[in-house]
Amino acid sequence: MSTTWADIQKLAADFQRVQLAERGNILSEKNCIEVVSKLIASNAIDAVFTKDGRTYITKKHLLTEVKNECIAHDGRISLTELSHALNIEFEHVEEAVFAITKSSTSFVLCAGEIITNEYVNKLCDELNSRLANVGQISVSELVRTWDLPGEIINGLVLKQIGEKINAVRDGDIICTMFYLDSQKNILRAILNSLTKVTLLSKIESYVCLPSSFFWSSLDDLISRKEVPGTFIGGRQLSSGFYVPNIHSLRVQSFVLRTLERDRILEVSTLKKLFVTDVDSYLKNIRKDSRNCSLIVLPSSIIAESLLTEIEQSVQTEVSDKLFCDVVHHVPPQISTTQDIASLLATLSKKHKEWITVQDSSVLYTRELLVHTLKSLGNFISEKAKEEAEARWNREKTAVTNDFSDKKLKKKKTGRAKNLKANDDDSPKHVDTLNDTVRISKDALFAELERIQNIPYELIDEVAERIITSIESAVQERVDSIIYGVEQENAQSQKRSHAQMKEKVRNLYENICLFEQGTSEFSASVAADLQQYLMRTFCTDMCRTLLLYLSGVSRPSAELSVKARDEMINTLESKECRDVMTDLYLATTSSEFNAFHECVSRLASPAVCSLNLKMPDRKRRVEIVSTYREELRKQLEESDDPAAGLLLAILFLLARNGIAVNASGKFVSHLLAKLETVMKNESSLLGELQSTQRLVVASIKKKDDKALKDELTAKLESLKTAIFGLDIDGNDA
């Protein structure tokens, strides 16, 4: 329901008439308020009360009042002020303002204020006027000058930039195009006037432009090629620099002049002259340089002619010493580790025989390694001897442990299973030639330091490179030593085996001869002599055979029964073990048949193929002759009366064709036999008998010096008689 202002006036008139009527019919103020309130509540009228509730106004008229108040306040008033001025509740005022701004484009609501378009246009005109005077202004200054909230200025006024306001905006700054052009001209003038490298922030300080306007103006000048220079350091005012072309020309002139004069230039100098990309700069500068050949190192630039001089100087020292410290041949400007490393790499590419050392300024030639190896000849020989001795000691220890640890382990002797190749036996080694030699790096380092052929800085490098060659050389020398020793041992063992075979053959022939000699005596004496022969020659033959078959060259070692049995068990062939066991068993008897049978088995090709046979008659004569000469020699050298007497009797028996092996206890039996074969030699027999009596007496009287002297004289007399008789016999 729409209630007009005329209706309200009519209603007011009606109220007035009623009030002027009779007093009894007049409504009280309270009743009037109640009536109006009910009318508003029932939507009979569209009105609102004032804050005090004493008056009311229609909403339509409220809109008019709001507009009037805004215009009365120069086109701008806050809703709070409107509520206070109209004495209307804030929500009714706010509702009215919303209705006005919705229905009319002449009013806007911003920042809690209702503002007319005329007010905004006035501000735009004022801003244009100020910009025409000053060229630029900040938003913060406008807020301060106009005493307006930033929301109103940004939301209403500055939206008109480009339409009602002839300006451009960058952040907080507003300026005219004319101002921008003038500042751009100033910037152009500054850039053209500069002759040295200048920080961009310093240039920017002379130009009253915000950052974005500064860069856009600069980009525009660059695009139009109106900037006589370049920019480095990126688009940061605090780190960017402007490099005028005239500065670049001066730098180029300085660089060319320095390179031609000194032939070296430090990169740090270029950095100080604001040359950031050295490689690109040098590519450009080479086009204008008469000395185009430049070598770029990490910290310096050198001319190729200087590099050639350095190379020649280094080459001279390398030819003389086989090594060189490059630091001593370069200018002091080349001092960094990176420069030296780069220079060494360049030199080593040109000279393949030169070797560089990591993290060092020293280089050397491969010839130095060869020379060093030659100088270590004594070291190699000493190490080879030590290693060879150590291996032999380990082998000896292993062989000893085989016996001492009671391990009945059959050793590989290198002979065929039938033991026919006894002559080719070789020493046993535990992978001696397959061992790998290892040389201590510390020992090699110490030796290199001692011989002082190379500088200390190269010792570790050279040691690392030659240690494998040293180990190979030592290994070859060790192999050579061991091979030589093995060959010598093999030859020695062959000779030893040949000697042992000859000894076994001689022993057996003597045993056969002595066995035959026992037959010249009575049965009881013969049995005793045969038993003595078993204990001496036969046992010695058994021992020699066992040592020969086992491959152990210990002819002087005494074998206990236990050691003998262990050695027999080490024999590979079961036939050998059985025969040797039986042979030793045969020596415990005085019967020779079993002994000869065992010898025959040993001599067979199935066992050890020894040439053992009983001597024939001719051989027996030779053996007796040899035996007699040996007895003669022993008798000549003997100064012991008892031994001399025994030798004399044995010699005389042998001279008469009877060869026996006997000890001193058989002297009486031997002398009795001699009496039967030397019946015509009574004087000599008398000498022998008297000597025997003196020997017996001396044994009973050991402290009788006179008796000893007499016996000694008697022995010499006996020798003279025997040798005289022997000479006469030979002459006859």
What is 663-694 written as a DSSP string?
-GGGHHHHHHHHHHH-TT-HHHHHHHHHHHHH
Using CA atoms, how far residue 668 sits from 376, 518, 677, 691, 696, in Å, is: 74, 15, 15, 12, 11
Q: How confident is the model at residue 16 (pLDDT cuts 50, 70, 90)?
A: low
- Cα separation, 553 vs 492, whole angstroms: 10
Judged against a pLDDT cut of 80, whether residue 7 lies above it is answered with no
pLDDT in tens, 621-642: 898 899 999 999 998 888 888 8
Judged against a pLDDT cut of 60, whether residue 191 lies above it is answered with yes
Same domain, 128 and 233: yes
Same domain, 547 and 572: yes
Same domain, 168 and 205: yes
Same domain, 599 and 633: no
Q: Decide if 315 is inside a domain.
A: no
Segment 109-134 shows an average pLDDT of 78
Judged against a pLDDT cut of 50, whether residue 419 lies above it is answered with no
pLDDT of residue 532: 92
pLDDT in tens, 559-610: 788 888 888 888 888 888 888 898 899 888 878 888 888 888 888 877 777 7
Using CA atoms, how far residue 519 sits from 196, 334, 407, 516, 659, in Å, is: 136, 109, 46, 6, 10
Judged against a pLDDT cut of 80, whether residue 365 lies above it is answered with yes
pLDDT in tens, 669-712: 988 888 888 888 888 888 888 888 888 888 888 777 888 888 88
Same domain, 34 and 144: no
DSSP three-state, residue 639: coil
pLDDT of residue 565: 87
Judged against a pLDDT cut of 50, whether residue 412 lies above it is answered with no
Domain end (from 51, 71, 104): 104
- For the chain, the average pLDDT equals 79
Same domain, 31 and 79: yes
pLDDT of residue 408: 45
pLDDT of residue 40: 58
Q: Decide if 397 is inside a domain.
A: no
Using CA atoms, how far residue 321 sits from 318, 351, 358, 364, 371, in Å, is: 5, 16, 20, 9, 11
Segment 289-313 shows an average pLDDT of 82
Same domain, 153 and 240: yes
H or E element that contains 138:
strand 136-138
pLDDT of residue 8: 66
Segment 451-469 shows an average pLDDT of 84
- Cα separation, 280 vs 270, whole angstroms: 12
Q: How confident is the model at residue 411 (pLDDT cuts 50, 70, 90)?
A: very low
The number of distinct structural domains making up the chain is 4
Q: How confident is the model at residue 416 (pLDDT cuts 50, 70, 90)?
A: very low
Domain end (from 245, 269, 301): 245
How far out from the chain centre does Cα 730 lie?
89
Same domain, 14 and 89: yes
Domain end (from 573, 591, 617): 617
pLDDT of residue 428: 45
pLDDT of residue 732: 38
pLDDT in tens, 219-247: 888 888 888 888 888 888 888 898 998 98
Q: Decide if 523 is inside a domain.
A: yes
Judged against a pLDDT cut of 70, whether residue 298 lies above it is answered with yes
Using CA atoms, how far residue 505 sits from 515, 619, 626, in Å, is: 15, 12, 15
Q: Decide if 241 is inside a domain.
A: yes
Residue 173: phi and psi, rounded to 5, are -105, 135
pLDDT of residue 262: 87
Q: How confident is the model at residue 424 (pLDDT cuts 50, 70, 90)?
A: very low
Helix axes 79-86, 90-103, angle to 10 degrees: 120
Whether 292 and 286 have beta carbons less than 8 Å apart is answered as: yes
Same domain, 542 and 575: yes
User: CB under 8 Å to 504, separation ≥6 — which residues?
Assistant: 541, 544, 545, 548, 610, 612
Q: What is the dihedral of CA 392, 393, 397, 398, to 10 degrees?
A: -30
Using CA atoms, how far residue 687 sits from 676, 695, 714, in Å, is: 16, 12, 8
pLDDT of residue 125: 80
pLDDT of residue 369: 86
- Cα separation, 329 vs 344, whole angstroms: 12
Q: How confident is the model at residue 404 (pLDDT cuts 50, 70, 90)?
A: low
- Strands, E assignment, 437-500: none
pLDDT of residue 420: 39
Of these ranges, 48-62, 200-214, 324-338, the one predicted with the greatest mean pLDDT is 324-338
pLDDT of residue 290: 56
Same domain, 100 and 148: no
pLDDT of residue 630: 92
Query: Strand pairing partners for 264?
Result: 302
User: CB under 8 Å to 485, separation ≥6 — which residues?
Assistant: 388, 392
Judged against a pLDDT cut of 80, whether residue 526 lies above it is answered with yes
pLDDT of residue 425: 42
Q: Decide if 259 is inside a domain.
A: no
Same domain, 78 and 135: no
Q: How confident is the model at residue 407 (pLDDT cuts 50, 70, 90)?
A: very low
Judged against a pLDDT cut of 50, whether residue 410 lies above it is answered with no
Percent of the chain scoring above 70 in pLDDT: 83
- CB atoms near residue 291 (< 10 Å): 14
Same domain, 213 and 233: yes
Segment 12-29 shows an average pLDDT of 61
pLDDT of residue 287: 66
- Higher-pLDDT residue of 292 and 433 is 292
pLDDT of residue 434: 55
Whether 108 and 114 have beta carbons less than 8 Å apart is answered as: yes
Q: Decide if 53 is inside a domain.
A: yes
Of these ranges, 52-56, 198-202, 626-630, 708-712, the one predicted with the greatest mean pLDDT is 626-630
Find the domain containing 639 and state its range: 625-731
- CB atoms near residue 77 (< 10 Å): 21
Q: Decide if 587 is inside a domain.
A: yes
Q: Decide if 109 is inside a domain.
A: no
Percent of the chain scoring above 90 in pLDDT: 4
* pTM as predicted: 0.49
pLDDT in tens, 434-459: 567 788 888 888 888 888 778 888 88
